[in-house]
Structure 1
Amino acid sequence: MRVTTNVGVGGLSPRALDETARCPSSALSSLADWQEDARPAAFPFRPIVRHYQAVGRGQVDAELVKALRVLAEEGRPRRGRGGRAADGLILSSWLPCTFDQEDGDYDSYGAILLLHRVAETTPGGPDAGLDLQQVALLADLLAFEAAAAAGRGRRSRQEVRVRACLRALARAGELAPGAAGVTARFPAAPAADRAGELARLALDAVPPAVRLAAEITLLPMTPLHDEVMFIRSIQVFELVYRQVARRLERAVAALAGGDAAAATAEVRDATARVAATGSLYRVLTTMPKESFAVIRSSTDGRSAIQSRAYREVERLSAPLPTEQLPMELLRLDERPRPGRSLQEEYLATGGGPPLDGLAAAMAGLDKAWQAMKRTHWGIALKIIGRVPGTGGSSGADYLREAAERPLFPALSPGGKHA
């Protein structure tokens, strides 16, 4: 990795300058104390996570990695403070992400399974949990970027990043409407110099388990500042895709049960979420090419193509025949998904005027989904050009091809039922 003395956008994370965190002694001693304590006690996530963030997963102390791997393989992570089962669930889901340096995938890189499990156990149910988790991730990112911007000029790259993150959090109500209890407290037009306050307001308002999940799932491969933003962006997009997939799944079930109105409402909800991702992409545009080149070289095997939630959205919409799947997806050896897709269920009803509202909603989702993919392609072209993307994918060329594929080909212009 190229050595740099800069801190912030285009340079090192401020956490890489923390000499105490760079030294593994605090993490090792905290873990040893926890293992020797006969009483149920809170797992020492913070000193361990601080070490990972200071040096990057690729340079974490080998003794610490070995100890965490042994703990996971023993299969006996104890309950957390007060013996709460939820804390044990968080720990058992988190541990595999700490020793995946050689064989990790996209899910372990972003700790996606942990985020999903925490959402599923959040009061209010998975839908509310996923939305609250998005707010927590965006707030944590804003707090990180705002702290790095202290004392810098308004035209600095760091200030540009802060403003982009501030807009994303301020518009989180569109992206995650299930978190309205939190986002309703936000000021209508938050000022950039109050960004840290807004972030703290959001983090203080989410459930403790959601806040903890946001904190401990930031395990970058490098000590670069920009990888923090990259991981947070991945995580939020994954939760958006998961929410869209959940709505498509419910739309299929509703249509199969003869409730076209409910199916239409689910599709419209999904569309609004996809349309709101523009603020997330504005954050990604602040990624310097040089930083992404280092991140890409450090994340071999962790390609966004592996996103399960993204592929679930496309399968629930209208799975492509195997012969039409791009090579990147064929390498994943996907098994056929049981049950009908929304397009198949729609066609089975015969369509017609009673389903005109649903057809229009499906067309709207298709348009929003393709617009999102085109935006992704454009940003990738700007940042990485036509070189391979993360995980060895074909990068921008793959994204261009993906952007041209409709979600509902039978209903798209030129389709048999358009």
Structure 2
Amino acid sequence: MTATTEAILVLEDGRVFRGESYGAVGETIGEIVFSTGMTGYQETLTDPSYKGQIVAMTAPHIGNTGVNDEDFESRRIWVDGYVVRDPARVRSSWRSSQTLDAELEAQGVVGISGIDTRALTRHLRERGSMRGGISSASTDVAALLARVTEAPQMKGASFLADVTTEQTYVVPAVGEKRFTVAAIDLGIKGMTPRRMAERGIEVHVMPATATYDEIAAIGPDGVFMSNGPGDPATADHAVATLKQVLAARTPYFGICLGNQVFGRALDRGTYKLVYGHRGINQPVQDLTTGKVEITAHNHGFAVDAPLTGTFETPYGPGRVTHVCLNDDVVEGLALLDQPAFSVQYHPEAAAGPHDAAYLFDRFVDLMSAEKAGV
């Protein structure tokens, strides 16, 4: 790492951290959150769900494998800022094309290094995620704090227009084509359609603005809604479209924001978590099997639904299928009389464990059963 410019991190409650610039020199403001993943930083950086957020890594040593050309989950880095404690001095992977610092600089991502990320994480755990700012262009704390407190909050924010694809593209099935799926891109990661393609699914990745008529025109065997950034309370178009999908009894699978949209379509509310779930080590129990899986998360909002029993929806009874064992947050939903389910986490495992890969098979089973008229 060559950057030695002084940098400051200022939180909206006035807490200040001082370190050195990492990545581009400049200023950035966003909601500051922490991610507990010890690996997979390149996939984290390129996850569109992080749009609008400054990400602090709890693992102290970041950048040791550099950046390669194969592990990008989207077309660019999406985080609005990056916070690390000890950046790697050298990159040590044969797959690496350049250093993480250089990639951040090339993409204009302002970061800070050399701060006590443990103290920062404890502060956010106690006070909750909040707005923050990083500056390596100026060390004027008061001026940066004023800009931070004037910035919009994550509650009420919508970034779908920023992250979604502009036009539909197709990821072909691997081997024999078995199904066609319309995947609504709310901030989709590249590994997700690949996981479906591996199961014989031809995936039509469509913009977040896609209408039900446009979806129906491809004759899908199922509809998928992806992860994505922002407040689910602003995703009215996606909710309205999904209601039409459910009314047509088309099999549905959603993850992350797609889970929250599903919850809203079932007339459940959503709410903002104090500091959210981010990282690749979150324990979740599948209440339908009793199995506990370690999962990859990135969400600051959750669905409000009862953990036990069923609840009424416009499409028959629904239930919570998955729950986070750390804090009892709803992590999955399903309808009992229709082929529709969702989870709050990221089963594509990029980065992360593969415990939840079975969910793609569950989606295949739903589509198979619907085709067979079961």
User: Shorter-normalised TM-score: what interval?
Assistant: under 0.3
For normalisation by structure 1, the TM-score amounts to: 0.25
For normalisation by structure 2, the TM-score amounts to: 0.27
Specify which structure has the bigger relative contact order, considering alpha-carbon pairs within 8 angstroms and separated by 6 or more residues.
1
Structure that is richer in strand per residue: 2
